[in-house]
Structure 1
Amino acid sequence: MGAHPEVRDVRETAHAAQVRELDAAGVLVDPAWRAAFEGVPRHAFVPYFWTGRGAGHERLWGEDPDPEQRARWLRGVYTDTPLATRLRDGELVSSSSQPSLMAKMLNALDVRDGHRVLEIGTGTGYNAALLCHRLGDDLVTTVDLEEEITESARTHLAALGYRPTVVTGDGARGCPSRAPFDRILVTCTLPRIPPAWLGQCRPGARVLAPLSTGLIALTVRDAELAEGRFLHTSAYFVPLRGATAAPPPAEPSYGLPYELVENERFQFMLVLTAGALHAREALDLWRGEGRPARERFGVTVTPEGQWSWLDDPQGPYVWPLGETG
C-alpha cells in the first residue's frame, strides 16, 4: 500500500479492533466470514469519505497533511457506521455500508462453496472483496451504473489482489452474460424486484435485497416465481438508479400519533404499502394485527405482478408492490 511501517501498524490495529467488535456483536458467526473480514481491510476501499459538518460536508482522507485529520479519517473508517463516499450536488450517490449490516447480509445470503454470486451495487468494492475472499474471484460478479464508481472499485480490488468481474451497467438488468447465479446480493434500496433477475438465477437461488426499510430474502423457484419473507434486520441504503423507478412516497403521516410515526416497525409497513393503503388504514391494520414486525411480511414475484403480504401470500392482507395507486 506504500504506507510507512508505523502507519501500517496503526491501520492494522484499527482493523483488528473492528473485527473484534463485530465478533463481540455476534455478527461473525461463520468462521469463513470472520476470516474474510480479517483478511480485507476497509480503509483500502475508503481512501476518503464525507461527513456532515455545519451546513455542508467535510471530506476526510487518508493522505491529509494534517495528522489529526488523518486520525479522524482512520477512526471514521473503522467505526461501525455507513460512510458517504460520493456526493453529487450535495446528494448521496454511493456509500460504504455499515460493516455489521454487511456481515448480517453475508450470513443471510447463505452461500456455499462453488456458488456464483451477483452483487448489485458495487460501491467501493469492499463487499465484493469479502465475497472474493470467501468464494474466489471467478464466482463473483458486481455491477454498478457509473463507470467512475466501477473503475475506482476495480482499482481498490486489484490493489489487494482481487479480480472479480466488475461490470458498468444498469443493475436492474442483472448480468445475463455471467448467469446463471446461485445468489444475488443487493446493496441499494429497491421499489420492486427487477423481473430480469429471476431468469438469471438457478432454481432454488436466493435473492437478498433491501426493500422498504427491511431486507427481503426471496427463494427463486424458476424464471416466473420468487417468494420469501423479510428478515428481522432493518436496512437503509442508497436507492437503485437506472431502469427501475423510484418507490412511491409514503402517505403523509399528519394526524397520526407521534409515537407511531416514529415507530420503525410501523414506518416499514407504511413504506411497504405506500400507494395501496392510506396511512390511517395502515395504522388501523397494524394495530389490529398486534403491531407485526418485519418478519411477518413477505413478497411474491410473478410475471403477472408483485405483491407484499402479511403472514400468508394467499391470506386477506395482500398489496401490490411499488405501485403508485
Structure 2
Amino acid sequence: MGADAPGAELEDIAAAARTRLVHEIEASGALCAEPAWREAFAAVPRHLFVPYYYVGVPGGYERRWGEHPDPAARERWIRGAYDDTPLATRMRDGELLSSSSQPSLMAAMLAELRVEAGDRVLEIGAGTGYNAALLAHRLGDDAVTTVDIDPEITESARRHLHAAGFRPAVVTGDGARGVPERAPYDRIIATCALPSIPGALLAQCRPGGRILMPFATGVVGLAVRDAGCAGGRFLAIPAFFVPLRGEGVPQREPPRLAGLPRRARESDLFRFLLALTRDSVDPDEAHALWEREGMPPRDRYGLTVAGGRAWAWLDDPDGPYVWPLPDVRVPPGLSRGGR
C-alpha cells in the first residue's frame, strides 16, 4: 500500500477480504445446511461493525482501529476485521465485555436457526450489531429486534447498523426478559451464554418456533411447543460466549478438575459435561459416566423444558441420564403471551 491509502483503496481491500472470508466460512461447512446465508456474509461489511478491536499480544492487548494515522496499521485493521476469528470489541479492567463472534460460528448458528421468509427474530445480545445486520439483510429490518442491557453497546450497535444501511429495532434492556412489546417471535437467538433457560423467551416465542442459545460451552436448539414446553439437542460444535449480564444472573465458579485424570482435565468434551451437570453431579461421578459412555460428543446431549422444570439429558430426555437444571420462571410482569 502507498504512503496513504485513499478510502476507495481500503474499500477494495475490504471487498477482497470479505470474499476470502466467505470462502473460509464455506470451507468450514457452516453454510452447508443453509447456503442462503452466503449472500448475507458476502454483502454485509463486517469492518463497519468493528471500527476498533483488540488482539492479544505478549503482555496484554493491542488496539487496532480504522482511524489510525499509519496507513499500514489501517490496513492491518481492515484485513483483521475479516479474519474468521472472534474479535474483542469492549474491555474493562482486563475483562471482556463484548465481542464480535467468529463468523463461521455465527454462520453455523444462523443456519441452525432455520429462518423462513416472514419470520420475526429476537436477538439476545446486540454486540457490535453485525449479527443483527446479517438477519436484517436476510429478513428485512422490520423483522429483527436486538436487545442488550448496556446502553453503550446498544448505542454503538445502532450507529454501526445505520452506517451499514440497516434499521432493525435496537432495544436497551435485560435480555433475560426478552422484548415483550415486540413479541411474538418466530425465532429467538442468543449471542451470549445463558446460565438457565429464561421463561420469558419461551413465552415470547410462537408455538412451532425455535430458540437457539449458547449454554454450557455449547449451543442448543430448542423447538418450542408452547409457552411452557420446549426441547432439543445441542449442536456438535463448541461455543464460548461472553456470559449474559443482568439482574439476578448468578456468577459461577469454574468446575473442579483437581484429582481427575489428565485425559479428562484436558478434554473440552468432558468440561462440557461438567458445565452441564455442575448443579447435580459430582465431578468424579461425571468422569465415570463420561468414560463409560465413550466420551460422548455434544450432539448426544439435549435440554427439555416442561411444566416449569428444565433438565439436561444424554441421548434421550426420558433415558437413564437426566440432570435437573434451574427451574424456568417467568419474571414478574410478563405474561405467557405476546402481541
SS in 1 for 2:146: strand
Q: Distance in 2 between matches of 1:193 and 1:244?
A: 13
**1:244: Cα distance to partner?**
4.9
Specify whether residues 251 and 278 from structure 1 end up closer, same or farther in structure 2 by C-alpha distance, changes over 3 A only: farther
Structure 2: stretches of 5+ with no match in the other structure: 1-5, 328-339
Find the aligned partners of 1:273 and 1:320 in 2 and give their Cα distance: 8
Corresponding position of 1:138: 142
Deviation per CA, 1:2-54: give whole Å up to 9, x if none: x6212211121111211122223332333421110111011010010012223
CA distance in 2, matches of 1:244, 1:36: 36
| C-alpha separation in 1, matches of 2:7 and 2:236 | 43
Higher mean alpha-carbon deviation, 237-246 vs 186-195, is at: 237-246
Q: Is contact 2:10–2:75 with CA below 8 Å preserved after alignment?
A: no
Q: Distance in 2 between matches of 1:203 and 1:210?
A: 21
CA RMSD of aligned residues (A): 1.4
Query: Given that residues 251 and 275 in structure 1 are in contact (C-alpha distance below 8 angstroms), is that contact kept between their aligned partners in structure 2?
Result: no
Contact 2:91 2:98 in 1 (8 A): yes
| Residue deviations 1:162-215 (CA, integer Å, cap 9, x gap) | 100100000000010110111001100111110111111110110000000111
1:306 and 2:313 correspond: no
- The residue matched to 1:43 in structure 2 has which SS? helix
- Tell me what 1:65 maps to: 69
**Superposition pairs of residues 139-288 of structure 1, within 5 angstroms:** 139-246=143-250, 248-288=252-292
Q: 2:95 aligns with which of 87, 91, 96?
A: 91
Structure 1 position 72, deviation (Å): 2.0
The answer as to whether partners of 1:191 and 1:321 remain within 8 angstroms in 2 is no
TM-score (normalizing by structure 2): 0.91
Amino acid at match of 2:303: V
Q: What is the letter of the counterpart of residue 12 of structure 2?
A: D
Of 55, 75, 80, which aligns to 2:79? 75
Aligned residues: 321
The one of 80, 93, 116 aligned to 1:112: 116
CA distance in 2, matches of 1:68, 1:53: 18
Q: C-alpha distance in 1, partners of 2:97/2:147? A: 15
* Cα distance in structure 1, aligned partners of 2:153 and 2:190: 16
Which residue number corresponds to residue 27 of structure 1? Answer: 30
Give 1:303 deviation, angstroms: 4.4
Greater alpha carbon shift after TM alignment, 279-288 vs 47-56: 47-56
Quick check: 2:126–2:146 contact (8 Å CA) kept in 1?
Answer: yes
| C-alpha displacement of 1:71 | 2.2
